[in-house]
Structure 1
Amino acid sequence: MCGLRFGPPRPQLPLQRSPQLMHLQGLARTLKLQGGHVGGALESMKVPLAFIGWYVLSIVYSLLNKEVLNVWQFPVVFSAVQLLVGALWIGALWMPLPTFGLKARRFAPVREPPRLTRAELSQVSIVALWLALGHVLSTVSPAYGTVAFTNVVKTLEPLFTCFFSAIFLKQVFSVPVYLSLVPVIFGVALASANEVSFSMISLISGLLSNVCFALRAISAKRVMGKKVGDNLDAQNLYGVLTIVALVAIVPLALLAEGRTIVAGTLATVEKVGLQRFLRMLLYSGLSHYTYNECAFLALDSIHPVTHAVANTIKRVAVIVLSVLYFRNPLTLTGALGSAIAIVGVMLYSIAKATDKPPPTTLATAAKGRPSSRSEPKKRV
């Protein structure tokens, strides 16, 4: 097995328990006896807390991301730093820590690490590669444009998802799903034509990030259709993807910006100060990783239609707050185009979620065979 699990610690002599430790253990046993009440309360709060974390941390990340890019013009290296912070975070959660007698094991991690074979890691690496490229391009886009414009361009991701689903998965959706993409395309075109701070680099980077994230979704669907690894739930899967994506991005970052990174970083430190600069990098990386984890938890526990509405409201909040925070100029026509695109995305998500028959494959349609409607749909 080529796993990500840390090895077991060396056996140690039992430690003499202090009165404080015995009190802590007694409190833990009391909570365990009342687990029906405490566990139920925590479980009922999981989804609302995940929603709050998803919304708040997503907005915080968008603002911090742009603040760093305003003073440190190295988006490729910055994307690698964000993944590095996330990798260190998930590594700390997987590391065995002393349990002080609260668990059966003397040392146990906060979260059980996954275990993968080399073949399974190779399958997951395909998803991580598209994640890495998409993350880099998503960081490059706001570096040359505004946060609001980047979010408007990223509403076109469903268009590429439908396109690649038809090519690679042979899936054809219903007519309302495709019709809902029309206002998205029109809205993005209208917003782009009237964007005061328009940047071709920002537009192309945003569009290419949509391509990468659409291909990531397609490849993830293929991987998740099989049993891959042990302890590989949604949160651990994102942790593995983060680590592999970091390994893929580092050579690209050094190749693209390695020649000027030292001089540019020294100039930034001289301008904003070393402590503030390090805090900006740390907070940006932590907010990026934790908001994605909260999104996994929130979206895994709600109906797809609720997901569509919630995701639309979140995108509106990011756009509006970024415009107010950075005081970016926004024309009335640009705002109208952004609104049309966002409403189109919500209509697309609702149409896709309420489309009860499973997608008809092009292969079965060509052969004249009926689609297998009796088979349950797999949720990715």
Structure 2
Amino acid sequence: MQASGIERSSGEPQGPASARAAGVRDVAALAGVSRQTVSRVLNEHPQIKESTRRRVMDAIAELQYTPNFAARALGTRRSRTIGVLASDSRHYGPSTSIAALEAAARAAGHWVSTAYVDSADLGSVSAGIAHLRGQAVDGIVVVAPHVRVLEALDELRVDVPVVTLLAGGRGVRGDGGDRSPAVDQVEGARIATRHLVELGHTRIAHLAGPSDWLESSSRERGFELELAAHGLEPAAIVRGDWSARSGHDAGEALLGDSAAEPPTAVFAANDQMALGLMRYVREHGGDVPGSLSLVGFDDIPDAEYFWPPLTTVRQDFDELARRAVAALVERPERPDGADAAADRPMLVPELIVRESAARR
């Protein structure tokens, strides 16, 4: 007959399983394996059968067993902790990336320690890295998409692998490579711009993000490349700061009385700026897409509830985070020191067609 719980020897205290925290012995008994096998599963030994690993993990889940990672780190010299160096978490892309990284790390059996820094302050970046190194992290993921943060990292000596979540990729530093899991921001911008061209628009403007953000410069480049491929020039390029307010303010430069020949369509570098521009159009007697066709970028959760629902470009933040974690988790296990995740091609964003862009 199959046991319904953990069998205890006569020398153990009797009572419900919740009377004490479960240990390795309990996991081994429930899974029908030795304690050594449980240890090998927890330490990701490569020669454990998948069926055995699954039984052990199911037992861990049923017993709510919490491994002592600190003790394991003494034996493996790995803390199973991933550091995240982050800035500008108030914005959708970085905040979503951080949440996705935490979920991906947990799924891989790792902890996350996050240090928030001021991207404009080299001392803050240095202190953030020192904080993470004090946590004995096995590697660091950088979610600070500013040119100056990368410049600061280049100046600082970091003795653990570093993965950057950036447009184009900067690589897993420490192996001499220059690769990183990344979303192809240039191609995403080209997809958005191409959609407007295919709708018949020839006067297309770009509402760009801040010049020191790598995603912003990549999206601006993609916009220009796609227009050039069709023999077109930008109607205008106006810069915002990612906020809806800046998108609203940009409306005057793009569509106001001072605009010599207003565009019929705009590609906005993020959805929040697109939202602000929508309001400006309505306040001045126009409508989207009747007066102006509009495409955003990011596909924030609210985008489909804008009026009209926003056509935009969606990034797969969850897959990007999984690749970043894998780049750090898998790399020490590979005999050549390379990282499997960084060998994968960049993720291509997806155009989500809704109602904010119409045929010219």
User: Fold-level match, TM-score > 0.5?
Assistant: no
Q: Which has the higher contact order (CA 8 A, sep 6+)?
A: 1
Larger radius of gyration: 2
Higher helix share: 1
